[in-house]
Amino acid sequence: MRLLISNDPISKATMRATGIVLVFVGGLLLLQAWNEVQTSGRRSRTFWQDMVLGSAFAALGVWLIVWGVLR
Protein backbone atom coordinates (compact mmCIF):
# COMPACT_ATOMS: atom_id res chain seq x y z
CA MET A 1 0.00 0.00 0.00
CA ARG A 2 2.94 2.31 0.65
CA LEU A 3 3.96 2.12 -3.02
CA LEU A 4 0.59 3.47 -4.19
CA ILE A 5 0.74 6.43 -1.80
CA SER A 6 4.32 7.51 -2.53
CA ASN A 7 5.20 10.18 -5.10
CA ASP A 8 7.40 7.79 -7.04
CA PRO A 9 6.93 8.30 -10.82
CA ILE A 10 6.89 4.54 -11.37
CA SER A 11 3.84 4.09 -9.18
CA LYS A 12 2.09 6.96 -11.00
CA ALA A 13 2.85 5.32 -14.34
CA THR A 14 1.65 1.99 -13.00
CA MET A 15 -1.61 3.56 -11.88
CA ARG A 16 -2.15 5.14 -15.30
CA ALA A 17 -1.36 1.87 -17.08
CA THR A 18 -3.70 -0.07 -14.82
CA GLY A 19 -6.40 2.54 -15.44
CA ILE A 20 -5.99 2.21 -19.20
CA VAL A 21 -6.32 -1.57 -18.98
CA LEU A 22 -9.44 -1.28 -16.81
CA VAL A 23 -11.05 1.20 -19.20
CA PHE A 24 -10.28 -1.16 -22.10
CA VAL A 25 -11.75 -4.19 -20.30
CA GLY A 26 -14.80 -2.18 -19.24
CA GLY A 27 -15.30 -1.01 -22.80
CA LEU A 28 -15.12 -4.58 -24.06
CA LEU A 29 -17.76 -5.67 -21.55
CA LEU A 30 -20.04 -2.79 -22.54
CA LEU A 31 -19.51 -3.62 -26.22
CA GLN A 32 -20.38 -7.26 -25.54
CA ALA A 33 -23.60 -6.24 -23.78
CA TRP A 34 -24.56 -3.91 -26.64
CA ASN A 35 -23.82 -6.64 -29.19
CA GLU A 36 -26.02 -9.11 -27.29
CA VAL A 37 -28.99 -6.75 -27.47
CA GLN A 38 -28.39 -6.06 -31.16
CA THR A 39 -28.22 -9.74 -32.11
CA SER A 40 -30.91 -11.27 -29.87
CA GLY A 41 -33.16 -8.27 -29.33
CA ARG A 42 -33.57 -9.00 -25.63
CA ARG A 43 -31.73 -8.34 -22.40
CA SER A 44 -30.64 -11.41 -20.50
CA ARG A 45 -29.06 -11.73 -17.08
CA THR A 46 -25.58 -11.62 -18.57
CA PHE A 47 -26.47 -8.31 -20.23
CA TRP A 48 -26.98 -6.66 -16.85
CA GLN A 49 -23.86 -8.28 -15.42
CA ASP A 50 -21.82 -7.02 -18.37
CA MET A 51 -23.31 -3.54 -18.05
CA VAL A 52 -22.61 -3.28 -14.31
CA LEU A 53 -19.11 -4.76 -14.48
CA GLY A 54 -18.21 -2.81 -17.62
CA SER A 55 -19.36 0.47 -16.11
CA ALA A 56 -17.56 -0.25 -12.83
CA PHE A 57 -14.29 -1.21 -14.54
CA ALA A 58 -14.42 1.81 -16.83
CA ALA A 59 -15.19 4.19 -13.94
CA LEU A 60 -12.41 2.74 -11.78
CA GLY A 61 -10.01 2.95 -14.71
CA VAL A 62 -10.82 6.60 -15.38
CA TRP A 63 -10.42 7.35 -11.67
CA LEU A 64 -6.99 5.66 -11.59
CA ILE A 65 -5.86 7.55 -14.69
CA VAL A 66 -6.98 10.91 -13.32
CA TRP A 67 -5.51 10.21 -9.88
CA GLY A 68 -2.24 9.07 -11.44
CA VAL A 69 -2.01 12.27 -13.50
CA LEU A 70 -3.09 14.81 -10.88
CA ARG A 71 -1.21 13.67 -7.80
- Whether residue 51 lies inside any domain: the answer is yes
- Whether residue 58 lies inside any domain: the answer is yes
Residue 58 neighbours by CB under 8 Å, 6+ apart: 22, 23, 26, 27, 30
Burial class (CB in 10 A: 0-12, 13-18, 19+), 64: buried
- Whether residue 7 lies inside any domain: the answer is no
Say what the pTM is. Answer: 0.77
Burial class (CB in 10 A: 0-12, 13-18, 19+), 45: exposed
- Whether residue 11 lies inside any domain: the answer is no
- Whether residue 13 lies inside any domain: the answer is no
Task: Domain count for the chain, please give it.
Answer: 1
- Whether residue 28 lies inside any domain: the answer is yes
pLDDT tens digit string along 7-29? 666 688 888 999 999 999 999 99
- Whether residue 5 lies inside any domain: the answer is no
Q: What percent of the chain has pLDDT over 90?
A: 44
- Whether residue 30 lies inside any domain: the answer is yes
Domain span at 37: 19-70
